[in-house]
Structure 1
Amino acid sequence: MTETLVIDTTAHAAETPDTPQPYLELGLAEDEYARIRDILGRRPTDAELAMYSVMWSEHCSYKSSKKHLSYFGKTTTPEMKAKMLAGIGENAGVVDVGDGWAVTFKIESHNHPSYVEPYQGAATGVGGIVRDILAMGARPLAVADALRFGPADAPDTRRVLPGVVAGVAGYGNCLGLPNVGGEVVFDESYAGNPLVNAMCVGAMRTEDLHLAFASGTGNKIILFGARTGLDGIGGVSVLASDTFSGDESAGGRKKLPSVQVGDPFTEKVLIECCLELFAKKLVVGIQDLGGAGLSCATSELAAAGDGGMHIELDRVPLRAKGMTPAEVLSSESQERMCAVVAPDKVDEFMAVCKKWDVIATEIGEVTDGDHLVITWNGETVVDVPPRTVAHQGPVYDRPIARPSNQDALRADSPDKLPRPSTPDELRETLLRVVSSPNQASKDWVTEQYDRYVRGNTVLAQPADSGLIRIDESSGRGVAVSTDCNSRFVYLDPYLGTQLALAESYRNVATSGATPLAVTNCLNFGAPTDPAVMWQFEQSVHGLADGCAQLGVPVTGGNVSFFNQTGETAILPTPVVGVLGVIDDVRRRIPTGIGAEAGETLLLLGDTHDEFGGSTWAHVIHGHLGGLPPKVDLERERLLAEILVAGSRDGMISAAHDLSDGGLAQTAVETVLVGQCGARLVLDEDADPFVQLFSESAGRVLVAVPRSEELRFTEMCTARGLPWRRAGVVDPESDALQIQGVATFPLTELRQAWEGTLPALFD
């Protein structure tokens, strides 16, 4: 005989207050469980307990970070908000970029799932962020990814990295979305806890903006897209809300809910279906189903509306038999959306879904009450105030303590390390730096991505920022960049985060685009560690203060805690994404130098003896200590204005910012990307080592046509931006000649720069 499934209803819950419930196993603390009982006036049903547990998880509720994230609101001025159409709290940030166009962008983490199952973890990370963009009413246009792994030669990195890259490529390529930017970084601290941060950018007309809310009594709730299955039960909402244990003897983890399984072809059809629904004005409100699945979509839609909601959960299309209400609500099956539709639009809505062969089911309606009520075969299994689920979870004021080793760390200056001084030593150092895994070409990764599908990609990796055209008639485009040097953040979380902001801001400007807005993905260790919370607080304040100084708002982002294995936390990694706008992509500035003989190379900005956390100290000596480079955000703003003016007026033919590896790294990449020789001239009055390997911020190497050199340098001088002649483009040469140091044939540089990752992963 088949066992009858007993459903825990609200009436049964009220009658059985002492029934034991697995709240601890679901990640709820005792006081949190007690608070749920106080809210409901009884014990929760199994389905309600599932909803609260996933929605009050660290990943969904931000319970350890809310207190600190509020600082963004305190530092955002009305002027910064002027072009912001949607901000923190929405599925993604939206900014007005002119000519009636709005652009939406966001970056989110999918870290722990990508360790458990690298391909699907990374693939569904891409799928989830794409749906966030889609839910705002925009067509997704491009993706980017910021990836971090353990040591490049570690066995587990060889397991995780190929799967993650294949997952990012497989999903994005099938969707037909170009992958235009990002990073790949290796460090011991990410061993066992890789970071997979996925970004998406989309565009729409300003009047097409959609928000997630359920209003209008009688409006219907329609679930459409893929069927709901057992994959991803609890998924990222649970997996991302606890640390990995150090015990992997059984090949497992402390918590191993099933990682979601993605189907990019279903999502591609879902995108086109949604866009037609938007174009026909058939949607009142819409929410994608990502972390926490239907628990999130129903509670957030109801909480943002002006009434209640009734859901008939047994109407949800399933792909597994015997699923309980708790499982249906907690499933994070991919490629699903939830829409609020007026009754007179339902038939037309369903017709559009049928046209695209998308499963669509009316599962409920907006009510005039103030509760979210969910029934299963006529029995009430959920009856909750929706805001208590979606927005009124616990808020913790975690203990904060400056790490006890912070002073010693900062005092451990790299100044004592032996420095190369002879031409031979400088030559060897340069080759070791550019061939190190972090500095080597990432072509092995990026060539697996389709960077030019759809035909609107203007710049892509290895350019400083990705640049895409959003309007073919005017040529208007947007640039995106993601950056973070976690070693700098470890040495000084406040300044290190501002350096990440400055670099991302500079990379966007280096393409010729005006930086406009910021998103972030804040990756840290366990919030129960006071030292981690100190890093987090300092980082948030550094980013907020930096954005206020630059005049660019934070439009949204993601917090990812518990990134550690056992007691070992990752280096604090607040990835900062910056979006910029360019009026005409034909005036973009490429990274590689061209073939016009005699173009002048100019180094913009000041170079100082700054090596704390530098690539040189890390690669050559395995050293991490001292102070990070200074940051001057007013100088960064001035530098960006001059780069944008140089782009607009045709004064710059190529540009590449100086960051990890300093001038040496920038010069090598400039000649190799441009496939053109050059002569680099160092300042005779300064130390060649400092000039080549310092990582002082606020610097860019530009190539300027001879006809524009005087006009450009006069502009720099008049505006107070330091500059010096750093060399000349030499298309007749097949080498990079660094005067007084060495001549590097391009073939030698290419072998050093491009050979590292294929040797490790092919």
Structure 2
Amino acid sequence: MTLDSVKHATETPDTEQPWAELGLKQDEYDRIREILGRRPTGAELAMYSVMWSEHCSYKSSKIHLRQFGEKAPANDALLVGIGENAGVVDVGQGYAVTFKVESHNHPSYIEPYQGAATGVGGIVRDILAMGARPVAVMDPLRFGAPDHPDTKRVLPGVVAGVGGYGNCLGLPNIGGEVVFDACYQGNPLVNALCVGVMKHEDIHLAKASGAGNKVILYGARTGGDGIGGVSVLASETFSDTGPTKRPAVQVGDPFQEKLLIECTLEIFKEKLVAGIQDLGGAGLSCATSELASAGSGGMRVELDTVPLRDATLSPEEILMSESQERMCAIVEPRYVDRFLEICEKWDVIATVIGEVTDGDRLEIFWHGEQIVDVPPRTVAHEGPVYERPYARPAWQDALQADDANKLPRPGSAEELRAQVLTMVAHPNQASKAWITDQYDRFVQGNTVLAQPEDSGMIRIDEDTNLGVAVATDGNGRYAKLDPYTGAQLALAEAYRNVATSGAKPLAVSDCLNFGSPEDPAAMWQFAEACRGLADGCLELGTPVTGGNVSLYNQTGDVAIHPTPVVAVLGVIDDVTRRTPVAFKDQGQLLYLLGDTKEELGGSAWSQAVHDHLGGLPPAVDLEREKLLGEILISASRDGMVDAAHDLSDGGLIQAVVESCLRGGNGARLVVPDGLDPFVFLFSESAGRAVVSVPRSEELRFTDMCGARGLPATRIGVVDGDAVELQGEFGITLDELRTAHEGTIPALLA
């Protein structure tokens, strides 16, 4: 094949090029020609196509994401914000923590194991690139209908991929979610989060500065897997015919990544790099253009020096390949020999592929012939920006008018009891132990809390017991009813889950999963969710440090529920003061914190009992969430509560059942005066938690709540081996455990 070169492209302006096949629109191709003053070479066209894809450029979402910066709350803990590989926050004692959540949705539908595995590998490298040692992962997951045959194809593969890659890396999986809904049938959501720890002085940024500094590609060889990969897959909807494009999914090697992590950390320790970037979406196209764009000069790359697994790859394929376990470092000439020596020690291939120049162009050569000559910012940061039309869908009013509060309710104590069992056995409320038992939650020995706790918690200093807690939450049913409120409810629940464990919430990362941006209804949902999340973060004082947008989660004209997944990270001074969810000691008093209202829209009860979605989601009161958080943190620190569990999906009864089963103790509950037993059990009012209080601490605890103005209602006692509602029913723990733990294994048998 004759290679296109810059000179040849200049001399042949009318040569037809496959821009449409690469996912570009006519106006985008015209814009590339305008930038370059000529037609692009084949290699340049490949670079622009992947970097201007929806996944890499955020071209449909940028105008809405700006709110996260414009409305960002003042926060002294924020060290690195939006725009880098991951956000970084100060957690005290000289430590910084970096965390981020991203999606690998489309690849995981096509090839569940490798899609999920490489999703974990990619987010781990993002954290590593900031200068941190990865210490934990989490996995918020969404699948289709639990009884659909394809769910049995996708779910086991995804779970095996998440567990296989994370376990091989030796990283504990400390939390996440598993949600089933028919809306995710053709578009499962595989979101992956990683947390990393470093000292302040070890923070690294993705930039290439210093003319003469060398560009070193190190890690795995570049292969044909993942060409176009996630950058193309995540930038269009699936057809109605099901999974295709199988060759585009990357293939991961966790053992290679483990070597890469240790090698990189040793390189950091010796301060050998001036800038670093992982190779994820868009591969070398991304790494070279972003490093050059963020730096002070240009870059020259000799592409034929890139180590290959497949010698037949063309330059375009090498630039587009998303082969895993690769990093790109900027190294001063005096450190190159030592850099290569460390790589050899760890059996990591490392090659000098170019250098930083004092110009302002990214220039790439292939066997001496120039194939790329572009302004790097136009590739990496100045792609298209679309103001997609959006409009509140015509069906929204009817959906909200179909009020879940009007659904038939249990007419007897026996029916009430049966509906409790129905709900706790529903796949969304049932135990996920079949899944989480495939993950190593305690490797490295610093896991303090892990699923099914409200948040995952990791000790980061063994001498002082300083730790961090992270929770991820998102409720697509709430967001379908009202995307603005739904996003704030996701934020509030993650914030509450962190506070419930005793940690102070500090910062947010998000993964915004939505339908096609070319659908005005889906775009309206996205715009509203962004507005809700930005407003909520401002009110709670928790800045968005970074995240991910995943659009085109749609098959034909059927979109997923709008699913903003929110991760909140918090800090705890002493992990030995953490609060678990388990009711451990009989005789302790149960208190309900917060106000319970008749709020059943989008509820677990309406789904499990009636298969219904309609009405309005619970109201959000972020000032109440802050107050509740402060009370829970104080109570944990001062030893006033022995257990706490937030109230969310499934309401009070779900939380009580989970805490009882976790601790092996029953509970006797009393309905507060003026409250209907059904509403007491199933309402999903936000801003609530249930706590167990030692009798010796009751007065001190209730005085604190009263002084701060937080409603605290005594609703029962930890006692016996059953969950009883006075005057209504009792269900033994054995019966509850059978219902709660049998569902998922039976579905996947």
TM-score normalised by length of structure 1: 0.98
What are structure 2's unaligned runs of at least 5 residues?
A: none
Q: Does 2:745 match 1:758? A: yes
- Equivalent residue number for residue 478 of structure 1: 468
Contact 1:410-1:627 at 8 Å conserved across structures = yes
* Amino acid in the other structure paired with 1:761: L
For the residue of structure 2 that corresponds to 1:665, the secondary structure is: helix
Q: Does 2:82 match 1:88? A: yes
Q: CA deviation at 1:18?
A: 1.2
Matches within 5 A, 1:109-128: 109-128=103-122
Contact 1:307-1:370 at 8 Å conserved across structures = yes
Q: Does 2:421 match 1:421? A: no
Contact 1:239-1:256 at 8 Å conserved across structures = no
Give the fraction of aligned pairs with identical amino acids, expressed as a percent.
70
Q: Which one of 610, 613, 619 corresponds to residue 630 of structure 1?
A: 619
C-alpha offsets along residues 285-344 of structure 1, whole Å, 9 cap, x if unaligned? 000000000000000000000000000000000000211110000000000000000000
C-alpha offsets along residues 465-513 of structure 1, whole Å, 9 cap, x if unaligned? 0000011111000000000111110111101110110000000000000
Distance in 1, matches of 2:606 and 2:345, equals 59
- Equivalent residue number for residue 54 of structure 2: 58
C-alpha offsets along residues 438-472 of structure 1, whole Å, 9 cap, x if unaligned? 00000010000000000000000000000000111
Q: How many residues are paired up?
A: 749
Q: CA deviation at 1:246?
A: 1.0
Matches within 5 A, 1:556-595: 556-595=546-585
- Equivalent residue number for residue 435 of structure 2: 445
- Equivalent residue number for residue 402 of structure 1: 392
- Equivalent residue number for residue 738 of structure 1: 725
For the residue of structure 2 that corresponds to 1:454, the secondary structure is: coil
* Amino acid in the other structure paired with 1:704: V
* Amino acid in the other structure paired with 1:56: W
Q: Does 2:45 match 1:49? A: yes
C-alpha offsets along residues 669-695 of structure 1, whole Å, 9 cap, x if unaligned? 010011112212212431100000000
Distance in 1, matches of 2:289 and 2:77, equals 29
For the residue of structure 2 that corresponds to 1:528, the secondary structure is: coil
For the residue of structure 2 that corresponds to 1:755, the secondary structure is: helix
Q: Which one of 194, 203, 213 corresponds to residue 209 of structure 1?
A: 203
Q: Which one of 673, 679, 682 corresponds to residue 690 of structure 1?
A: 679
Q: Which one of 26, 30, 34 corresponds to residue 34 of structure 1?
A: 30
* Amino acid in the other structure paired with 2:722: A
Q: Which one of 144, 148, 152 corresponds to residue 154 of structure 1?
A: 148
Q: Which one of 316, 326, 333 corresponds to residue 323 of structure 2?
A: 333
Structure 1 residue ranges, 4+ long, deviating more than 6 angstroms after superposition: none
- Equivalent residue number for residue 15 of structure 2: 19
Q: CA deviation at 1:256?
A: 5.0
Q: Does 2:237 match 1:243? A: yes
C-alpha offsets along residues 381-431 of structure 1, whole Å, 9 cap, x if unaligned? 000000000000000000011100111111111232110131101100000
- Equivalent residue number for residue 295 of structure 1: 285
Distance in 2, matches of 1:357 and 1:409, equals 58
Distance in 2, matches of 1:170 and 1:256, equals 20
Distance in 1, matches of 2:196 and 2:467, equals 11
- Equivalent residue number for residue 602 of structure 1: 591
Distance in 2, matches of 1:211 and 1:117, equals 32
- Equivalent residue number for residue 611 of structure 1: 600
Q: CA deviation at 1:726?
A: 1.2
For the residue of structure 2 that corresponds to 1:455, the secondary structure is: coil
Q: Does 2:365 match 1:375? A: yes
Q: CA deviation at 1:19?
A: 1.1
For the residue of structure 2 that corresponds to 1:338, the secondary structure is: strand
Q: CA deviation at 1:743?
A: 1.4
Distance in 2, matches of 1:432 and 1:209, equals 50
Distance in 1, matches of 2:347 and 2:635, equals 50
Q: CA deviation at 1:88?
A: 0.8
For the residue of structure 2 that corresponds to 1:576, the secondary structure is: strand
For the residue of structure 1 that corresponds to 2:667, the secondary structure is: strand
* Amino acid in the other structure paired with 2:20: L
Q: Does 2:216 match 1:226? A: no
Distance in 1, matches of 2:569 and 2:132, equals 16
Contact 1:421-1:689 at 8 Å conserved across structures = no
Q: Which one of 346, 352, 359 corresponds to residue 342 of structure 2?
A: 352
Q: Does 2:708 match 1:719? A: yes
Distance in 2, matches of 1:438 and 1:41, equals 55
RMSD (CA atoms): 0.8
- Equivalent residue number for residue 175 of structure 1: 169
For the residue of structure 2 that corresponds to 1:216, the secondary structure is: coil
Distance in 1, matches of 2:284 and 2:80, equals 23
Distance in 1, matches of 2:51 and 2:436, equals 35
- Equivalent residue number for residue 294 of structure 2: 304
Distance in 2, matches of 1:307 and 1:275, equals 27
For the residue of structure 2 that corresponds to 1:439, the secondary structure is: coil
Distance in 2, matches of 1:121 and 1:551, equals 35
Q: CA deviation at 1:85?
A: 1.0
Distance in 2, matches of 1:750 and 1:8, equals 66
C-alpha offsets along residues 181-237 of structure 1, whole Å, 9 cap, x if unaligned? 100000010001100000000100011000000000000000000000000000000
* Amino acid in the other structure paired with 1:538: E
Distance in 2, matches of 1:565 and 1:726, equals 47
Distance in 2, matches of 1:22 and 1:675, equals 64
TM-score normalised by length of structure 2: 0.99
Matches within 5 A, 1:601-680: 601-680=590-669
Contact 1:435-1:753 at 8 Å conserved across structures = yes
Q: CA deviation at 1:6?
A: 1.9
Contact 1:525-1:569 at 8 Å conserved across structures = yes
Distance in 2, matches of 1:509 and 1:491, equals 27
Contact 1:173-1:450 at 8 Å conserved across structures = yes
Q: CA deviation at 1:352?
A: 0.6
- Equivalent residue number for residue 192 of structure 1: 186
For the residue of structure 2 that corresponds to 1:339, the secondary structure is: strand
Q: CA deviation at 1:663?
A: 0.7
- Equivalent residue number for residue 704 of structure 1: 693
For the residue of structure 2 that corresponds to 1:233, the secondary structure is: coil
Distance in 1, matches of 2:411 and 2:133, equals 54
* Amino acid in the other structure paired with 1:659: S
What are structure 1's unaligned runs of at least 5 residues?
A: none
Q: CA deviation at 1:586?
A: 0.2
- Equivalent residue number for residue 321 of structure 1: 311
* Amino acid in the other structure paired with 2:736: L
C-alpha offsets along residues 122-180 of structure 1, whole Å, 9 cap, x if unaligned? 00000000000000000000000000000111000000000000000000000000000
Q: CA deviation at 1:257?
A: 4.7
Matches within 5 A, 1:67-82: 67-77=63-73, 79-80=74-75, 82=76
Distance in 2, matches of 1:10 and 1:103, equals 44
Contact 1:234-1:257 at 8 Å conserved across structures = no
Distance in 2, matches of 1:530 and 1:108, equals 24
Distance in 1, matches of 2:247 and 2:169, equals 26
